[in-house]
Structure 1
Amino acid sequence: MKSPNKLLFMFLMISSTCMVASSTNWLMTWMGLEINMLGYIPLMFSKEDSSESEAAVKYLVPQSLGSTIFIASAITSAHFNNLQILMLIAMCLKLGAAPLHLWFPPVMASLQLTPAFILLTWQKIAPLLAINSFNPLLMKSTMIIAMISALWGGIGGLNQTDIRSLLTYSSISHTGWMLASLSSNNMIFIAYLITYILINSSIYTFLTKEHTKSHKQLFFSKEPSKFFVLAITILSLGGLPPLTGFIMKLLVIMFTSAKTIIIFGLIVGALVSLYYLPILNLLNTTKIQQNTLTKTQMVSKQTIFFLLSQILPLTLILFFF
């Protein structure tokens, strides 16, 4: 596929997300979601092999089913208010939230890094914005789905050795936290989403340069500074204090209106994620050659800036409080 076509489909994705954010009725929201789906599917084809075609079909079927359920429930909800719960189920299916996430890991496993990164980050924005515009009475059901997603994302990543699978189940866990942030403040939701996108972008930038697939190959880099940056990024993604990921989760816990049992489930899911992500770092730390670590090398300014960006939010909070 040539570059102008990719730019056109990227424009469709961005404009459709803006359409969902600015829509005032369910028809415009549905149209934005459909354009978003149609703009992303051509971007899934990088090498144009059979695995990408299979991933496109696995992505198209649940997305079309979710769109059909959404528009049907939106039409009938004018007469039957109880059917609005189907709109939430449809959006959770498009979002890949547990327990409606069964299509998400197979699609991620068959994609290249760039479309996989778009699926993890940008494709979550439109369904989350649609859920944010629902009736506030549906937030109770949303919080239950948020707790299930956080727990399932943490447990599902325990026995995974593929990097993409680890990031997939971590994304399911973060989806639960994003749904929980919808019941607090819109600024917290936006800050959490931006932080999640930035952390994932740094990880995928490293994976693209190193061409790694298994976690055993993840930290075999000739530059120790790259290893430490990647290790801190993964720990920040898991929510280890005092990194940025922990600060965002702490803000969600402080300002969310969810019940205590929901918050407890979110914390347990985050703790399970913190079980296997640090172990992933420690196992690969011992495999780095000793002579590589003993060499004195200059740390780049980009590395120092990145490390400060991961720790700076904690210092700001301590300064104001």
Structure 2
Amino acid sequence: MKSPNKLLFMFLMISSTCLVASSSNWLTTWMGLEINMLGYIPLIFLKDNAMESEAAVKYLIPQSVGSTIFISSAIISNYFNNLQILMLIAMCLKLGVAPFHFWFPPVMATLQLIPAFILLTWQKIAPILVIASLNTLLLKMIMPIAVISALWGGVGGINQTDIRSLLTYSSIGHTGWMLASIASNHMIMFSYLLTYILINASIFTFLLKENMKSYKQLFYSKESTKMFILTISLLSLGGLPPLTGFLMKLLVLMFTEAKMVIIFGLITGALMSLFYYLSLTFSVLLNMSKINLTKHMMNTKESTLFLLSQILPLTMILFFF
């Protein structure tokens, strides 16, 4: 990742997201989405093996289809306003939310940890910003997709043994909550997205250092403090009260105008996600009394990211709400 070409593609990926955020017409938005896709694909190749090539192709095809649908619907909507719903479908395909998630788990299963983290976090920003810029009627139509995504994220994560698979289905569920937050309040959406990115950063920093794949490896870590930090980060991602992930979900429910059926579906999906995270971390929670939290708590990068992921969103809530 320190080579100049990787830095160039990283710059393209970041600047294209800024282009989408500041665009005033659909053509510029489409250009930003395309540059974002082309900037991310070279970052997939860290070891230049066949699995990364397969992941790049599986990522490229649905993203290209989504971009084609988006620009086509943007042109046709000048004559037929009802076809703007295709723009919403195109962005849901790019996000990988259910029921348009067919490409997302296979791609995540073959990625290295750094490209997987980028796909789970940064690559969600541009499509969500596009959806947030659509008109109010289309935002109301997104709620069924949000519920399906939240439920599928909860169901799909059960009985998964690979950490990346767990985080993939958790991401599908969280994206459903992000879509629901768009229809309630944009400030809540940004807070939720920031919280999700920071918690994932805390988790992936630990996974990169320990090089873990199976959930059983979590319980063989020699550093109990880092193991505790990972456990709390996973539970916060699952939405366990009173952690930050739960507070973000609570804000979405407080400000949403969705019907009770939609709210019930979102809560059910969140409970299923919390179930498999509790199952994952149960052994660590039982041994929590043996962990010395003060010995190395402030001397590691993982601790800093963990505290940032839990404190920064709370300060944003106090400042804006």
Relative to the length of structure 2, the TM-score reads: 0.92
Shift of 1:200: 0.2
Q: Which moved more, 1:72-81 or 1:296-305?
A: 296-305
Amino acid at match of 1:160: Q
What is the alpha-carbon distance in structure 2 between the residues aligned to residue 58 and residue 316 of structure 1?
Answer: 37
Go from structure 1 to structure 2 and tell me whether the alpha carbon gap of 1:249 and 1:294 turns closer, same or farther (over 3 Å shift).
closer
Amino acid at match of 1:66: G
What is the alpha-carbon distance in structure 2 between the residues aligned to residue 144 and residue 94 of structure 1?
Answer: 17
Tell whether 2:311 aligns with 1:301. no
What is the alpha-carbon distance in structure 2 between the residues aligned to residue 196 and residue 295 of structure 1?
Answer: 27
Shift of 1:151: 0.4
Structure 2 gap segments, 5+ residues each: none
What is the alpha-carbon distance in structure 2 between the residues aligned to residue 316 and residue 8 of structure 1?
Answer: 32
Shift of 1:257: 2.0
Shift of 1:187: 1.2
Match of 2:127?
127
What is the alpha-carbon distance in structure 1 between the residues aligned to residue 106 and residue 296 of structure 2?
Answer: 38
Match of 1:218?
218
Report 1:228-307 matches (<5 A). Answer: 228-283=228-283, 293=290, 298-301=295-298, 303=303, 306=306
Shift of 1:204: 0.3
The alignment-based identity, stated in percent, is 72
Deviations 1:99-124 (A, max 9, x none): 00010000000000000000000000
Match of 1:29?
29
Go from structure 1 to structure 2 and tell me whether the alpha carbon gap of 1:53 and 1:218 turns closer, same or farther (over 3 Å shift).
same
Helix, strand or coil for the counterpart of 2:159?
A: coil
Amino acid at match of 1:273: S
Amino acid at match of 1:301: M
What is the alpha-carbon distance in structure 2 between the residues aligned to residue 316 and residue 71 of structure 1?
Answer: 35
**Aligned residues between the structures:** 317
Go from structure 1 to structure 2 and tell me whether the alpha carbon gap of 1:95 and 1:313 turns closer, same or farther (over 3 Å shift).
closer
List structure 1 segments (4+ residues) > 4 angstroms apart after TM superposition. 294-297, 311-318
What is the alpha-carbon distance in structure 1 between the residues aligned to residue 19 and residue 316 of structure 2?
Answer: 35
Relative to the length of structure 1, the TM-score reads: 0.92
Match of 2:167?
167
Shift of 1:229: 0.8
Match of 2:156?
156
Go from structure 1 to structure 2 and tell me whether the alpha carbon gap of 1:68 and 1:310 turns closer, same or farther (over 3 Å shift).
same
Match of 1:193?
193
What is the alpha-carbon distance in structure 2 between the residues aligned to residue 79 and residue 106 of structure 1?
Answer: 38
Go from structure 1 to structure 2 and tell me whether the alpha carbon gap of 1:36 and 1:75 turns closer, same or farther (over 3 Å shift).
same
Match of 2:141?
141
Deviations 1:225-264 (A, max 9, x none): 1111111000000000000000101001111222221111
What is the alpha-carbon distance in structure 1 between the residues aligned to residue 216 and residue 195 of structure 2?
Answer: 27
Deviations 1:65-109 (A, max 9, x none): 000011111100111111111111000000101000010000000
Structure 1 gap segments, 5+ residues each: none
